[in-house]
Structures are given as C-alpha cells and as structure tokens.
Amino acid sequence: MATYNGPSFNGKIENLVFYTRNGKQVVRTVPDKVRQTAATKIRSHNFGKASSACKTLRRLLLPVLFNPTDRDMQNRFSGAVARWLALNNTETLAPQQQIPFVTGFSFNKETSVAERCRLPFTVSNPVAEQTLVQLPAFIPIAAIAAPAHTTMVQLTITVAACHLINAQAAGSETKQLLLPYNNTPVAAQDIEFNVAAETGVLLITAVQILYRLQNGNTDMRDEFMPASVVDGRYG
C-alpha cells in the first residue's frame, strides 16, 4: 500500500486500486490470480451445492417457515448443510441418518422446537416411497411449553426431499395436528408422508409450532415461534 499525490480518484485501473483512507489518497495492488488450496476449492464447491439445495428445500418447507425471506436464516441453513458436507465428495457421499449441523437446526434464532416441545419426533423410512413420523402418547400441557392464555397448539410437520447434486425437488408433504392445550392425553401418532428417501436425496423433516390464544389471536412473538429441523438424512 502507498500514498498517492495526484488528483482525487476512487476506482481501479488494471491491478491498481485507488481509494481514500483517513483523508488521504491510497493506492494498492491486487494480485492477478488468487491461489486456492485444494481444500478451499472443495469447500467452495460444496457450499455452492448446499446453497442450491437449500434454496429448493426452503421452497418446499414454506409451510413451516415464519419468515422465508430472512437472509440471515437462509445463510445459516446453507451454512449448516455446508458444514455437514465439509470436504466430502458429493458424488460419492454415503447414506447417513441424523445429519450433524442439519438435524436440530432452528430457523428462528430466538427459540427452537426442542426448547418448546419435549416430544421426540421419530423419523424412519419403513417402506419405499414413504417417510414415517412417530409421536408417543403425551399430555399437551406437560409436553409443550406455551405462553399464558394458550388454548390450542398447532403442530405443522413438513417432509421435504431434494436431490443434492442438481438441487431438483424430489417431493414434499405437509400435515398438521391441532391440539387443545390442556391435560387430556393425546394418543400416540403414526403420521405417514408420501416422500421417499431416495439415493442421492437430502430428506428434511421440519416442525413448526403455533400457539392460539383465548382472544383468538396467534402469539407472534419471536420467542414463541419455533420452527426447526427435527430430522435430516441423506439417502
């Protein structure tokens, strides 16, 4: 970096960059090429794959997203998938369940489904072309933490599938449970989704919780708007 005593100018000429810093004209050079290590190239490639897949997945997961246009959420979601991919070759990636960084990911930084709901969401693929989400028997006021004056709790579950290599959608389905918020036991649930865990497919099961109050409104405070990935797997 050097100072420049000519006329004031901000911009770039070939490999020279002119700008103002602390009231002085400064000039610096930029390299013709930025050398990347092999690891950096792989990470960059995988982040691109993650970003493309997550864009498709966010579209499929719209029923459980409170603010789908939130750029911070979008970046964090892509980052979670990229951290899972790390330096792996996406062409030869082995099947995996309970994907780290993705399973448990919260779309809302202020809260999560795990914080508000003590229910285990057990996800499996018992038969071809199907994903099964199982819930044990539970008592709503014991299993779900809700704000004051809650009368109903709405659980929305979306299963979404996307091909990792080309970011093509492979299917999605959404189902809802509307539960009176009281001490009446709720029977165990086996919820079937016609979405398959195919080879090369990233399969996401996400849950959103809404709290309906006595006055008929829905509590829209950030701390009571959980939406999270309860299961992420790769076929």
- CA 210/CA 192 separation, integer angstroms: 21
**pLDDT-based confidence at 14, cuts 50/70/90?**
low
Count of Cβ atoms closer than 10 Å to residue 132 Cβ: 15
Q: Report whether pLDDT(66) > 80.
A: yes
Q: Which residue has the higher pLDDT, 9 or 47?
A: 47
Count of Cβ atoms closer than 10 Å to residue 1 Cβ: 8
pTM metric for this prediction:
0.83
Q: Are 88 and 95 in contact (CB under 8 A)?
A: no
- CA 169/CA 158 separation, integer angstroms: 14
Q: Are 194 and 171 in contact (CB under 8 A)?
A: yes
Task: Please report where in the chains the tokens 């489904």 appear, as a residue.
Answer: 113
Helices 38-60 + 71-85 axis angle, to 10: 130
Task: Please report where in the chains the tokens 């369940």 appear, as a residue.
Answer: 97
pLDDT tens per residue across span 124-180: 999 888 999 999 999 999 999 999 999 999 999 999 999 999 999 999 999 999 999
Residue type, 230: V
pLDDT tens per residue across span 24-61: 777 777 766 656 677 778 888 888 999 999 999 999 99
Q: Report whether pLDDT(182) > 80.
A: yes
In the chain, domain spans: 1-35, 38-234
Task: Please report where in the chains the tokens 């409170």 appear, as a residue.
Answer: 66
- CA 98/CA 81 separation, integer angstroms: 12
Report the DSSP beta bridge partners of residue 175. Answer: 157
The per-residue pLDDT for 12 is 66
Count of Cβ atoms closer than 10 Å to residue 39 Cβ: 10
- Sheet of strand 150-163: strand arrangement: 169-180, 150-163, 201-213, 227-234
Count of Cβ atoms closer than 10 Å to residue 118 Cβ: 11
Q: Which residue has the higher pLDDT, 46 or 15?
A: 46
